[in-house]
Structure 1
Amino acid sequence: MLLIQTDGCPTMTVADMSKLLNLTPRSVQNRIYKKDLPFPVFKLADSGEWVAHVSDVATHIDNQREEAAKLMQ
């Protein structure tokens, strides 16, 4: 599902992350600098944009779903 949203690209940009997390891109950037995102982010090049690997983001989503399911039982 996430690969479809990123047009098959294995990484998500700050813009992609902001849509998924329902945050502004600036808020995502701030969380990156504070190391306050629930998944790892990295740069592909020294001057490149911050990205997250789709599998790391998917794992976070799966973990959130599992926690919510436990609370609903």
Structure 2
Amino acid sequence: MKKKPSSLRYYQEGPPSLVDLNKWTLNIFIPDQEKPIQINYNELRSIIQRTENRRVVCVCNWSIRRTCTVIKE
């Protein structure tokens, strides 16, 4: 059986460059807002997280159990 190529392709030119975490920001664009929300690296790291083991069930009659880390509400 011949394996089909993935429809998702990721490309990178050369090795990743170093990131200055003092200047790095995450921009979150929200519809109908003029400016994005900007979060720096330290603010992002300070978000409280929770690790959970959950089962995801699909209506197509399959399920999968995975451990993931989510932002605590």
TM-score (norm: length of structure 1): 0.29
**Which structure shows the higher strand fraction?**
2
Q: Which has the higher contact order (CA 8 A, sep 6+)?
A: 1
**Which structure shows the higher helix fraction?**
1
TM-score (norm: length of structure 2): 0.29
Higher radius of gyration, 1 or 2: 2
